[in-house]
Amino acid sequence: MHYTTEHITTDFLIIGGGVAGLRAAVELARNGEVMVVTKDAPSESSSEYAQGGVAVALSDEDEISIHFDDTIKAGDGLCLRKAVGTLVEEGPTRIRELILWGAEFDKEGTKLAFTREAAHSKRRILHAQGDSTGREIMRTLVDKVRTSGGVSKIDFAFTRDLIIREGRCVGAVVCQQSLKKVLIVSARAVLLATGGAGQLYERTTNPAVATGDGMAMAFRAGAQLVDMEFVQFHPTALFRKGAPQFLLSEAMRGEGGMLKNVNGIRFMDRYHPARELAPRDVVTRAIHSEMIATGSDHVSLDMTHLNADYITNRFPRIYRTCRDLGIDISSEPIPVSPAAHYIMGGVKTDLWGTTNVPGLFAAGETACTGVHGANRLASNSLLEGLVYGERAGLAAARYARKHFNRQRPLLSAEAVMKGHAAENASGVREIRASLKKLMWEKVGIVRNRKELNVALKQLREWERLMKRQGHDRAVFELRNMITAAALITRSALTREGSVGGHFRSDFPGKGKNWRKRTVLQK
């Protein structure tokens, strides 16, 4: 397949178009030309699918200090207190700003309506159209970016790798497969906002684009990655053969939903005093235990004791989706089981999105500021994207002012084109499916040294194999998945203890030096 190359220069390159990337774009548009690159349709991001809401201390009964304490507690002792402080203190300003820009959150009369989710001690979850909060925030940010001017977007473009020259990130190589074109993009600063890595697992709530691309690219570029062992599995994803693994919001349990095993017995009181409102990692492992004990592949989320009209109005999107799949959530229990949902680790940044590679910044789920510790508090992720997206934008602008030259990266067309003649590599789909199964079974909810070593050995074999493959999106994506999976597995082997979302059956206690963070660098 013949590809052409094109050199492009811009002031700021943002890779990823979710909440964090778009909030950064708003900031950077005030400081120069901005290019936002997404590998699929603009609407394909975890931000767009976020149902439950955004956590913020804005209600009359709430305080910033209480939100801080809840976040620290959920993080199981590994949150960085300064990062959490920044999140909860700046969060209200970012939300008020969104409302000023036109975001329409649900209200009770003239006041904002708040709900409660697991591990929150107050009702502080703002939502929009019941269960379409992410979509509403994205709509608002897209409109704001559009009216800001100076922002261009390239969709359906896969970022192959970052360009590093003399230790600095000076751009990226972007492939437009449908146009048979490779863009060599030069930028004064590059910001990664590529989202998470849920697609590494057989069961996940994440969209198909969440393949750990930013983490893998950053690692190859010499960036530090941290806390990669901490993967959060959402307790309640729809379980129905042949149906999508649709997320059933935490807010459903916040509004009174009960978890029951296949024998119809409510079981959470045996695992935690907060029952269904226990931290996510506790609820997930409880469901996992019940499934093993009953020999079943699912449990049930029961909402039938609640008012039917209330359920349909509060969770319209979930109600419609389940109804289309033959389940009436107002009159019958919903079959659920855990699914990979969020990674607490990522590219190591400071409180301004700065990485150890000059010129490279990161925000959102791709990044790790330490705000989530070992276990993310529900609905803190959208807030994190807003708060740290804005901060990363400010920091990238400051960096660019100091390094104002816009030069083409020293990268030849020949170097970029190498390997592009190959068509879609044979066996890519098979390896991808096998990887997802391997990660689910060996590096999933419950882990141990033996199975982690088996996984790592297989991942290394695939890593060697992929070096000899072609260079289309499917291959790049799989290469990134293998890299990200190996990072998670290596980190999980290193942490010989159980903290938050990381549980080792061979080390059920926290272990020695459990506060030490796991840092990986090429």
- Mind listing the pLDDT tens digit for each residue in 432-441? 999 999 999 9
Question: What is the distance between the alpha carbons of residues 431 and 464, in angstroms, rounded to a whole number?
Answer: 13
Structure tokens at 512: 């020695």
What average pLDDT does the segment 456-477 reach?
86
- Residue-level length of the chain: 522
Three-state secondary structure of 244-288: CCCECCHHHHHCCCEEECCCCCECHHHCCCCHHHCCHHHHHHHHH
**Quick check: 382 and 50 in contact, CB under 8 A?**
yes
- When the candidates are 3.30.950.10, 3.40.640.10, 1.10.3720.10, 1.20.58.100, the CATH number that belongs to 422-520 is 1.20.58.100
pTM of the predicted protein model: 0.92
Distance from C-alpha of 266 to C-alpha of 268, rounded to nearest angstrom: 6
pLDDT the model gives residue 169:
97
Measured CA to CA, the distance from residue 192 to residue 21 in angstroms comes to 8
**The dihedral of CA 99, 104, 106, 108: what is its sign?**
positive
Write down the catalytic residue from 135, 160, 253, 280.
280
Q: How far is Cα 373 from Cα 502, in angstroms, rounded to an integer? A: 11
pLDDT reported for residue 250:
80
Is the pLDDT at 103 greater than 90? The verdict is yes
The domains spanning 4-230+344-402 and 236-339 adopt the same CATH topology? no
Q: What is the pLDDT of residue 423?
A: 45
CATH architecture of 4-230+344-402: 3-Layer(bba) Sandwich (3.50)
Per-residue pLDDT, 40: 87
Question: CATH top-level class for 236-339?
Answer: alpha beta
Least confident residue range of 67-71, 333-337, 420-424, 472-476: 420-424
> What is the model's pLDDT at position 189?
97
**Domain coordinates of the chain in residue numbers?**
4-230+344-402, 236-339, 422-520
Please name the helix (run of DSSP H) or strand (run of DSSP E) that holds residue 192, with its range, or none.
strand 181-192
As a whole number of angstroms, the distance between CA 213 and CA 206 comes to 14
- Concerning whether 495 is annotated as a catalytic residue, the answer is no
Query: pLDDT, tens digit, for every residue of 348-390?
Result: 999 999 999 999 999 999 999 999 999 999 899 999 999 999 9
**DSSP codes joined into one string, 373-436:** TTSPPTTHHHHHHHHHHHHHHHHHHHHHHHS------S--HHHHHTTTT--SPTTHHHHHHHHH
